[in-house]
């Protein structure tokens, strides 16, 4: 592990500083090009009026030179032509303003370009570069535990550096065959249930943290493998009143007028596990239900019946169709309802049946009720189900 992590760290450092060199060169080239363009613009704008002034002066000198040669020719000619040439020369001289010159700017008004380069940039860069990057021998946070869930894994992590004050954690995962990690959780909690996990497949997990008041993330923890052997919970397909997600773990009560109980595809809830429902609420009804049952029964519009325990959306708890005195808070959007069960056997259990008791804990909105559910048969696994009278309800099960 030491050699492997050291090799990986060297590769990361070399790649990072190589990228920095390329980026810095690109930025310096862009800045140089911008400054050279500024020089070009100033040069062109400043020299244009001077060029025009020079052309006017050169034109005036050329005109005076032509006039001078014409006057010499008039003087040197014979008497007959001399008078005519002198007359033409005099007329032309009167129309040419030889004493007029364009205004020439003074020397102090003419731009004189120069470059101002502050050497302190190198000092600032040097100080920043020598403080850039650190090498840590141990990450401040490590993965602690993996708990199998149906179609998911509960991942727990903990701090291993007491001096590190964590503000946020960042959990990533990937299939062991994949090349890139992806974010699955960012927040202040130290555990998270990763859903959409394929059973009997290895996944790699890693976690890092961000210190209080800091922007950068800490080094990653040592990657660890996690897997689940439990098949994911799925709603059964084909019931007219409900639409399902692609993974069939989310059920939406649609606008259909038909009603009935939507059951799980199979009895995938086992005692000793936690069954969780997370919902978006619609219009409530006293016959609504979320719960578990021994068997699927068609023809019912609610789990408020025999061989079932459930909670209504108003918080009422039903055991075998009878309402309990204790009541939980009403179901709200984003809240979770959980069912936990453990077996308490009262008598001999066989295929022909026998007394069988389950201790049930139902939790909702930080409140819970605990009761014993007596059945006349052994139940190693149970179905789950839901029923809603009105559209808009959406339930995720895990």
322-342 confidence digits (pLDDT tens) = 999 999 999 999 889 999 999
Fold of 141-228: Immunoglobulin-like (2.60.40)
Backbone angles phi, psi at 55, to 5 degrees: -65, -40
- Residues 131 and 395: their CA atoms lie apart, in Å, by 51
Reading the block at residue 79, the tokens are 């008497």
pLDDT, position 102: 63
- Residues 280 and 36: their CA atoms lie apart, in Å, by 61
pLDDT, position 274: 92
pLDDT, position 347: 57
pLDDT means over runs of 10, the chain (398 residues)? 84 92 94 93 84 79 78 69 72 68 69 84 87 79 94 94 90 92 95 92 95 86 92 92 93 90 94 92 93 92 94 95 93 93 70 72 94 86 94 94
Residue found under tokens 């139940």? 379
Reading the block at residue 46, the tokens are 């400043």
pLDDT, position 101: 61
- Residues 241 and 243: their CA atoms lie apart, in Å, by 7
Q: Which residues contact 92 (CB under 8 A, 6 or more apart)?
A: 67, 70
CATH 2.60.120.920-classified regions of the chain = 242-397
Reading the block at residue 72, the tokens are 């010499």
Reading the block at residue 31, the tokens are 């800045």
pLDDT, position 192: 95
pLDDT, position 348: 57
CATH 2.60.40.10-classified regions of the chain = 141-228
pLDDT, position 78: 63
| Mean pLDDT for the chain overall | 87
Q: Which of 154, 44, 57 is nearest to 103 (CA)?
A: 57
- Residues 31 and 181: their CA atoms lie apart, in Å, by 36
DSSP result, 27-55: HHHHHHHHHHHHHHHHHHHHHHHHHHHHH
DSSP result, 127-177: HHHHHS----SS-SEEEEEEEEETTEEEEEEEE--TT--EEEEEEEEEETT
Q: Which of 252, 261, 276 is nearest to 394 (CA)?
A: 252
pLDDT, position 164: 87
Q: Is the pTM of this model over 0.75?
A: no
Name the maximum alpha-carbon separation found in the chain: 156
Q: Which of 395, 396, 392 is nearest to 282 (CA)?
A: 392
Give tens-digit pLDDT for 308-325. Answer: 999 999 999 999 999 999
pLDDT, position 302: 95
pLDDT, position 209: 94
pLDDT, position 81: 67
Classify 12 as helix, strand or coil. Answer: helix
The DSSP output letter for 223 is: P
Classify 250 as helix, strand or coil. Answer: strand
pLDDT, position 99: 61
26-38 burial code (b ≥16 CB/10 A, e <16):
eeeeeeeeeeeee
Provide the pairing of β-strand 141-149 with 191-194: unpaired
Q: H or E element: which one contains 237?
A: none
Contact between 283 and 392 under an 8 Å Cβ cutoff? The reply is: yes
pLDDT, position 304: 95
In the CATH scheme, what is the homologous superfamily, with its name and number, of domain 242-397?
Answer: SPRY domain (2.60.120.920)
CA angle 95, 74, 78 (to 5 degrees): 150
Q: How many CB atoms lie within 10 A of CB 370?
A: 11
Q: H or E element: which one contains 279?
A: strand 274-280
* Cα first-last separation, the chain: 35
- Residues 234 and 384: their CA atoms lie apart, in Å, by 10
């Amino acid at each position: 592990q030491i050699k492997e992590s050291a090799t990986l760290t060297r590769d990361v450092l070399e790649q990072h500083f190589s990228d920095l060199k390329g980026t810095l060169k690109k930025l310096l080239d862009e800045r140089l090009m911008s400054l050279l363009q500024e020089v070009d613009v100033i040069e062109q704008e400043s020299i244009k009026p001077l060029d025009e002034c020079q052309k006017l002066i050169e034109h005036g000198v050329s005109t005076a030179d032509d006039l001078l040669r014409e006057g010499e020719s008039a003087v040197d000619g014979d008497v007959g032509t001399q008078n005519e040439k002198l007359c033409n020369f005099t007329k032309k001289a009167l129309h040419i303003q030889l004493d007029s010159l364009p205004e020439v700017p003074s020397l102090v008004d003419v731009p004189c370009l120069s470059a101002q380069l502050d050497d302190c940039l190198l000092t600032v860069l040097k100080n920043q570069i020598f403080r850039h990057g650190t090498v840590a021998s141990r990450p401040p946070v490590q993965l602690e535990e993996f708990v199998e869930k149906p179609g998911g894994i509960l991942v727990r992590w903990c701090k291993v550096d007491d001096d590190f004050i964590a503000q946020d954690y960042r959990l990533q995962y990937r299939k062991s065959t994949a090349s890139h990690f992806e974010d699955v959780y960012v927040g202040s909690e130290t555990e998270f249930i990763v859903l959409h996990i394929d059973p009997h497949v290895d996944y790699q997990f890693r976690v890092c943290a961000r210190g209080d008041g800091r922007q950068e993330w800490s080094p990653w923890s040592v990657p660890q493998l996690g897997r689940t052997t439990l098949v994911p919970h799925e709603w059964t397909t084909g019931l007219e009143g409900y639409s399902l997600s692609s993974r069939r773990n989310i059920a939406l009560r649609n606008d259909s007028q038909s009603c009935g109980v939507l059951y799980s595809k199979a009895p995938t809830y086992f005692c000793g596990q936690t069954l969780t429902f997370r919902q978006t609420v619609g219009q409530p009804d006293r016959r609504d239900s979320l719960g578990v049952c021994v068997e699927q029964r068609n023809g019912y519009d609610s789990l408020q019946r025999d061989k079932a325990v459930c909670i209504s959306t108003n918080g009422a708890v039903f055991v075998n169709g009878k309402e309990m005195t204790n009541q939980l808070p009403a179901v709200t959007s984003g809240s979770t309802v959980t069912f936990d069960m453990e077996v308490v056997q009262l008598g001999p259990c066989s295929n022909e049946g026998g007394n069988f008791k389950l201790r049930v804990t139902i939790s909702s909105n930080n409140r819970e009720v605990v009761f014993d559910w007596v059945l006349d048969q052994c139940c190693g696994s149970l179905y789950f189900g839901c029923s809603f009278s009105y559209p808009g309800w959406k339930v995720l099960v895990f």
